[in-house]
Amino acid sequence: MAKISQIETFPLFLSKEEAADSYASDSAVEHRGYMVKPPWRSLYSPGYETLMVKITTDSGEFGWGEALAPVAPEVAAAIVDRLLTPLLLGENPQCVPVLWHRMSESMRERGHLLGHQADAMAAVDIALWDLRGKLESRSITELLGGSFTNPVPTYVSGLRGTTDAERAERAATMAERGVCRFKLHLGSGIDEDLATFDAVREAAPAAKIAVDAHWSYSLGDARTLGLELDRRRAWFFEAPLAPEDVKGHRDLAVALATPIAVGEAMRSRFEFADWLSQRAVQIVQPDIGRTGITEGMAIAGIADAFHARVAPHHSAALGVAMAAGIHVAAASQASLVFEYQPNTLPVANSILSEKLEVKANGDFHLPTTPGLGVTVDETKVRLLTRQN
């Protein structure tokens, strides 16, 4: 029986030039090396940052994991190095649920399943599933019981452009290639958001169009915008209010026909169970780079029990977390769709020698080789690792 002999962490940073892309915008305000992009509230990196984890056994097999750690991945790395690794060395890597339970129990008074602690556990959990798949010569989807969908349907998240005309032109071009689902990153004001929605709707009249407000609105303004989205038959309304306002989202869900979607800020089944039991969300969006595969599947199961749908979030993580999310989306009975940002896919694939593939319409081919089904370029990972 193989035993875990080594766990390595790699906090990565890809510069704007290396990534050939950036989250920066004209409105970005620098904040000690990071930036805030009003009206959105969170910190962003000027490039791409993430945490990679490699777990190796005493017989030489290894698996890779990744946390969605778009700022300060060194923090999650320190948690893996100092707190989680001692719990796992010498253990059987195929007992993934047991090891997940051990990690989560150890964090009960240290943040539990929240924040950087959860991100660190997610990276380790994904690496364990990848390793188990390789040891058993099965893909993660097979380990999870099989796929409900292949290819995995996606929506295009974000339309690049500085004007509505540019976004509309991009939507029209994509629609010609068969893309039929879009999500607009908005939150700039009711009139501005509706103008963008209408421009894209005119350019792609047959498409499903969702709105992500990035937690920007008050309850009153969110209701006003939501009622207009109802009239326009929007697909879903994501993150309309501050993420801690569960009751506000419940009130909004009652008032609107457009489904409310939340989840990227949450990391555990317990958080999602609270929202679902209060009927504050109809589409849950766990990010597997923050939940891990074990917890992500538990979240999907709870969502199914409440007759909600699962649309895994994915934004700034690279190819390992993306592959993990695709497997969870495929293996979840309640799965609706997976988030896809065309501009980030080349960046996500930049650390892979066996890459993720999409169809012309953006839907993902489900990886079928053992584990995650992608091959990490370790030389590239070590080259990009930020030294403390």
- Spatial CA neighbour of 241 closest among 277, 283, 212, 284: 212
Strand-pair category, 62-67 with 48-57: antiparallel
**CATH number for the domain including 43?**
3.30.390.10
**In the predicted model, what is the mean pLDDT of the chain?**
93
> Residue by residue, what is the 3-state secondary structure of 176-230?
HCCCCEEEEECCCCHHHHHHHHHHHHHHCCCCEEEEECCCCCCHHHHHHHHHHHH
Give the C-alpha separation, 104 to 90, whole Å. 18
Burial of 146 (0-12, 13-18, 19+ CB in 10 A): exposed
Q: Which domain holds residue 339?
A: 143-371
pLDDT band at 28; cut points 50, 70, 90: low
Check whether 32 has a pLDDT greater than 60.
no
Same structural domain, 182 and 51: no
Same structural domain, 89 and 210: no
Same structural domain, 217 and 92: no
Same structural domain, 174 and 83: no
Q: What is the structure's pLDDT at 16?
A: 67
For the segment 287-293, the average pLDDT, to the nearest whole number, is 98
**CATH number for the domain including 233?**
3.20.20.120
Instruction: Tell me the angle at which helices 319-331 and 288-305 cross, rounded to the nearest 10 degrees.
Output: 10
Same structural domain, 153 and 133: no
Check whether 102 has a pLDDT greater than 80.
yes
State percent of the chain over pLDDT 90: 85
Same structural domain, 180 and 42: no
Q: How far is CA 128 from the centre of its chain?
A: 19
Same structural domain, 201 and 148: yes
Same structural domain, 292 and 166: yes
Q: What is the structure's pLDDT at 30?
A: 54
Q: What is the structure's pLDDT at 22?
A: 43
pLDDT band at 387; cut points 50, 70, 90: low
- For the chain, what is the domain count? 2
Q: 């995995």: which residue's tokens?
A: 152
Same structural domain, 195 and 261: yes
Give the C-alpha separation, 276 to 285, whole Å. 12
Same structural domain, 134 and 152: no
Burial of 30 (0-12, 13-18, 19+ CB in 10 A): exposed
Check whether 120 has a pLDDT greater than 60.
yes
DSSP string, 269-304: HHHHHHHHHTT--SEE--BHHHHHHHHHHHHHHHHH
Give the C-alpha separation, 288 to 112, whole Å. 17
Same structural domain, 217 and 351: yes
